[in-house]
Structure 1
């Protein structure tokens, strides 16, 4: 039956995939709250809790009993969320592209974006996001216009 059986937790696909990234403060606070809620839930469930007994080893995407979610569960939830909120359907991986687009549009250095994405070098990032990088080229000349005071409309 679907959803039954052993969950397999694998290592990352390559060394660059294992990285530390900074998170917005509000998200860190939410994760701390979520962890505390799961610790309380694990105590309430007692022997029905099947997740890790170590509170430092709790899955972010877990079922009510602490076991990891089925891989398609988040995609299913996201599809329903988009439909409910009249948003064009998204695949979870598209969230990565949206975040990357925002970073590039906000002039985050390509090396930083590439590192954050786990790309082994910036060439991969440049190839995938070249359309956005080209679009941000105008901002280079805008910087000089602003610096030289020539950005005023005639």
Structure 2
């Protein structure tokens, strides 16, 4: 409920259509609960919260972590925290060859160096690919004399 730590922390996150659809459905369900609950919904909290308790109040960090763990256990067969999911998303984006600057911006890191310092170990396969590419180039140079 606080303001972001820095002005750079406020950013637009682009989501895949699947996630947008799930969030829209969640909002519809939440709107139905809001109407059914009546004027006491949210007990004075802003009504634009995305995830709330059953009465529209904010979820505390511990409650949020417990809910995410329970949902990921049910869906994936193992518990994940929001923090772990963030790392997993970054790792998958790196594996998909998304530019590091784009990943850094999405994560809200202050610089690309922060992202590189945290996730640099994941670039080892790319370094091997670069060495292989250089070898192919050098092999071609040998053939040309």
TM range (shorter): 0.7 to 0.9
Report whether the alignment pairs 1:74 with 2:55: no
My pick for the range that moved more, 42-51 or 24-33, is 42-51
How much is the aligned-residue C-alpha RMSD, in angstroms? Answer: 2.7
For the Cα contact (< 8 Å) 2:45–2:57, is it kept in 1?
A: no
CA distance in 2, matches of 1:83, 1:32: 23
Q: Which protein, 1 or 2, shows the higher relative CO under an 8 Å CA cutoff with sep ≥ 6?
A: 1
Aligned to 2:38: 46
1:3-152 map, 5 Å: 9-50=1-42, 57-81=47-71, 86-87=77-78, 89-141=79-131
Residue 18 (structure 1) shift = 0.6
Greater share of residues in helix: 2
TM-score by length of 2: 0.79
Residue 27 (structure 1) shift = 1.1
Residue 59 (structure 1) shift = 1.4
TM-score by length of 1: 0.75
Residue 126 (structure 1) shift = 0.8
Residue 24 (structure 1) shift = 0.8
Residue 42 of structure 2 aligns to a residue whose secondary structure is: coil
Residue 76 (structure 1) shift = 1.1
For the Cα contact (< 8 Å) 1:105–1:136, is it kept in 2?
A: no
